[in-house]
Amino acid sequence: MGYDSKIGWTDHTFNPWIGCAHVSPGCANCYAEAMANHYRWAKWGKGSSSTRRITADSTWKQPRTWNRQAKRDGVVRRVFCASLADVFEDRPELVEPRARLFDLIHETPCLHWLILTKRMYYVADLLSRVRSPENPPNNVSLGVSAEDQTRWNARVCDLVAGGSVPNRWGRFVSAEPLLGSVGGVPPGLDVVICGGESGPNARPMLIDWAAELRDGCKRSDVPFFFKQTGEKLARRLKLRDKAGADPSEWPTEFRDVFVRELPERWTSKV
């Protein structure tokens, strides 16, 4: 079967709802907000005027179909959950759909769910509200976005500290958009994903920043996945793909930095 996601580190993308709010500099040019505004899906923000749109039942049926196909093929498929939202945003209207989401995760053991958040401070509390006797499921990796050293220090430390994340879950970091030099990769992460920003207002990512992060991953024996150069660097390198996400276009002189490694946890057989 073909994969339905254009994101290089996942097979599928599933959005249980749409909508979020800015929490740090990485949110400034949010592609999800731009899409939601364009299609009038939801209104970003924290106030009462903001909205969260629960997706259609037809969307919620898709993971069950993917699970059946993965079981038939004898493989595990990766599902990036909530590319247009944050599963751990604490809002009253998300209590029921979040519980429904974790029921769905339990029902799809041939899928490995990749959940990315900027709100580690809510994870433990919100998880406690959706646990059944079987919770937490073991087919989840929780990731944090960390666009600069400040956010890396805060979010990655919380991620690896252990108290908020179930022991059976994997842990990963998305340094995208990478907005500065970042150091201090802890061992034990599933993977560190690195990428530059896309869009008309994209901020630049330096190759040296990506190389430093790659080196940190090597020292800690953590897989490193280079997703894209970002629009600024793609223009400088004269790439056809505006986001610089096509590996076939990447210059050979940067092949030791522009590498794509995935953890065994994400690619195992059923």
Measured CA distances, 195 to 23, 181, 198, 251, 255 (Å)? 19, 12, 9, 16, 15
Domain carrying residue 121: 7-143
32 and 118 both lie in a single domain: yes
Domain count, the chain: 2
Is residue 151 a part of any domain in this protein? no
98 and 191 both lie in a single domain: no
pLDDT at residue number 164 = 82
Task: Name the residue among 169, 170, 167 with its Cα closest to residue 223.
Answer: 170
Residue with tokens 């709010």: 21
pLDDT at residue number 200 = 87
29 and 139 both lie in a single domain: yes
At residue 8, the 3 state secondary structure works out as: coil
43 and 114 both lie in a single domain: yes
Beta carbons of 15 and 50 less than 8 angstroms apart: no
Torsions phi, psi for 58 (to 5 deg): -60, -35
pLDDT at residue number 2 = 40
119 and 77 both lie in a single domain: yes
Beta carbons of 33 and 9 less than 8 angstroms apart: no
User: Where a domain ends, among 143, 168, 196?
Assistant: 143
pLDDT at residue number 108 = 96
pLDDT at residue number 1 = 34
pLDDT at residue number 132 = 58
- Burial (CB count within 10 angstroms: exposed 0-12, middle 13-18, buried 19+), residue 83: middle
11 and 131 both lie in a single domain: yes
131 and 54 both lie in a single domain: yes
Is residue 136 a part of any domain in this protein? yes
13 and 58 both lie in a single domain: yes
Is residue 115 a part of any domain in this protein? yes
User: Where a domain ends, among 143, 164, 186?
Assistant: 143
> Helix, strand, coil: what percent of the chain each, to 5?
35, 15, 50
- DSSP of 177-235: S--S------TT-S-EEEE---STTPPP--HHHHHHHHHHHHHTT--EEEEE--HHHHH
pLDDT in tens, 21-63: 999 999 999 999 999 999 999 999 999 999 999 999 999 999 9
203 and 129 both lie in a single domain: no
123 and 236 both lie in a single domain: no
* Separation of alpha carbons 153 and 142, rounded Å: 17
End-to-end, the C-alpha distance of the chain in Å comes to: 16
Q: Kindly give the parts of the chain with pLDDT less than 70.
A: 1-3, 131-135, 269-270
136 and 190 both lie in a single domain: no
